[in-house]
Structure 1
């Protein structure tokens, strides 16, 4: 029987820190870990690295060093990605000494990888830093890369926006809009995972920079197929794992902080418990 990509990755990486059905998380530094993965094994990588802004999980380094570090692990992602595979990178902004205050990291990284840069998507959110001397920032960038621009997965129908203003409008007797909805465009208005006593998101964990699962689900549905292998080299609180498992994908993640591995484990175990409870509920008789 043919070995699956998921099992083959584990075979080369060794025993994970946490494993369950279709998911494996390693308490490892991602660049070192990825070197153990065979070439062209991953269908989709979706991740958000440290932004070099002094969060609790990172140490500040010079901008040039940060760019070089990102180039290294992005090149390794390219090596392990299948020929028709995809890479989605979420980045924010930081200060470049003597040059700019809120410089989009995407300006510095977009061409530092062998991938073909297909498109920038703007993630627009309502909550964020409030400013008095400049406009309050309310967006981050998603860089969408493909290995082969002539052949890549894109499932538009899986992510169409059903909120169409005139869904039944016709031209020459034919519907003007796809009955499944409209293209969600390259600006995504998705709520940020917020904290605070009165406005904390339902999915909020203790991680200081948590992905909204809704955003990751849109990426996974549009850029991969069921049973595909998803990678997140900066797993954090496990949002990518939850989104992948919820949509019948396999997922491998790397996380250098053991506390975050435990956090992701707790979330995933909760997901499986809730799934099992739903599956064992008796059907209602009518």
Structure 2
């Protein structure tokens, strides 16, 4: 099979980019302020809004401000996001923590009220775990972020069969009642519930164990807080159908758009940084050509065997009292 034959049918039929909204484009990639562009979108167009907004931690694309001012600015954007989300739609808001003078402000808790007061309903609070990050010295090192999954109504798109996992006991049978002796499970697998551990294609726990995008990640670009495509793919498969619109109002280098297009959805992305949207467009073009490097969804995370030098205790640390000179803080 050739690379062209391996591409999703959607990519071969509709390789159309646009800077502004147009119904014949399957990728709308706009450079500008999210709130301004959202005004131009039709109401209830998106089946899924998935994003990771700025955390107000002083990255190169944001100006650090008080937590109150930061949330007030996001509040006005959320008004427009709720307007463009359709009745059967979901909103996935992935955030970490804002830290000031060593004190942690959990952003998911602050954001909850902003969505709840607009009538959205929280279906899951999902934990995304990763193995690498900044090392703290006066508190435990953070190794997770949270994804809030809200829906606009009680009649929302949820494709359970797309995310089922193998049953632990597929041979289990009913022991009484009219189905006595018949298999008691679903032949497609079990519902992974709200506790997911994504390792080697299994969603067993609510701990989403997906590596964050660091220097050795195949998807790494210049963006300092890049979204892994794999994290979005699970939302795309569970909460949308083919041809649905997926919107990322802070799309950065386009990971959400790639996840959408790779599964035959339509994508709308907005980012105020031209250099990021330029990279997003190049990544999408590489996807169309079958050349984009992606980490396979569900790929097992590498664990050292103990033979590698980095997995061994340094010679300098051996046979010495590591607690010598350390005082209680």
Q: TM-score range by the shorter chain?
A: 0.7 to 0.9
Q: Does 1:264 align with 2:264?
A: no
Render the CA deviation track for 1:112-154: whole Å, top value 9, x for unaligned. 1312223211112222222343222111111111111x21011
Q: Does 1:193 align with 2:212?
A: yes
Q: Unaligned 5+ residue runs, structure 1?
A: 1-9, 277-286
Q: Match of 2:132?
A: 127
Q: Match of 2:69?
A: 65
Q: 1:44 aligns with which of 43, 48, 68?
A: 48
Q: 1:89 aligns with which of 90, 93, 105?
A: 93
Once residues 189 and 227 of structure 2 are traced to their aligned partners in structure 1, the CA distance between those partners, rounded to angstroms, is 25
Which secondary structure does the structure 2 equivalent of 1:36 belong to? coil
Give the conservation status (yes or no) of the 8 Å contact 2:245–2:265. Answer: yes
Give the conservation status (yes or no) of the 8 Å contact 1:193–1:204. Answer: no
Alignment of 1:39-188 (within 5 A): 39-96=43-100, 101-113=103-115, 114=118, 115-148=120-153, 150-162=154-166, 164-172=167-175, 173-184=181-192, 185-186=194-195, 187-188=206-207
Residue 160 of structure 1 and its aligned partner are, at CA, apart by 2.0
Q: Match of 1:222?
A: 238
Which secondary structure does the structure 1 equivalent of 2:69 belong to? helix
Q: 1:168 to 1:125 in 2, by over 3 A?
A: farther
Which secondary structure does the structure 1 equivalent of 2:44 belong to? coil
Once residues 268 and 129 of structure 2 are traced to their aligned partners in structure 1, the CA distance between those partners, rounded to angstroms, is 28
Q: Unaligned 5+ residue runs, structure 2?
A: 1-15, 176-180, 196-205, 293-329
Give the conservation status (yes or no) of the 8 Å contact 2:213–2:228. Answer: no
Alignment of 1:229-244 (within 5 A): 229-244=245-260
Q: 1:151 to 1:55 in 2, by over 3 A?
A: same
Please, what TM-score do these two structures have when normalized by structure 2? Answer: 0.72
Which secondary structure does the structure 2 equivalent of 1:107 belong to? helix
Residue 56 of structure 1 and its aligned partner are, at CA, apart by 1.2
Give the conservation status (yes or no) of the 8 Å contact 1:63–1:96. Answer: no
Give the conservation status (yes or no) of the 8 Å contact 1:46–1:240. Answer: yes
Please, what TM-score do these two structures have when normalized by structure 1? Answer: 0.82
Q: 1:169 to 1:132 in 2, by over 3 A?
A: farther
Q: Match of 2:266?
A: 250
Q: Match of 1:207?
A: 223
Once residues 286 and 228 of structure 2 are traced to their aligned partners in structure 1, the CA distance between those partners, rounded to angstroms, is 17
Which secondary structure does the structure 2 equivalent of 1:112 belong to? helix
Once residues 84 and 76 of structure 1 are traced to their aligned partners in structure 2, the CA distance between those partners, rounded to angstroms, is 17
Give the conservation status (yes or no) of the 8 Å contact 1:47–1:89. Answer: yes
Render the CA deviation track for 1:217-250: whole Å, top value 9, x for unaligned. 1001111111101110001111111110111100
Structure number with bigger Rg:
2
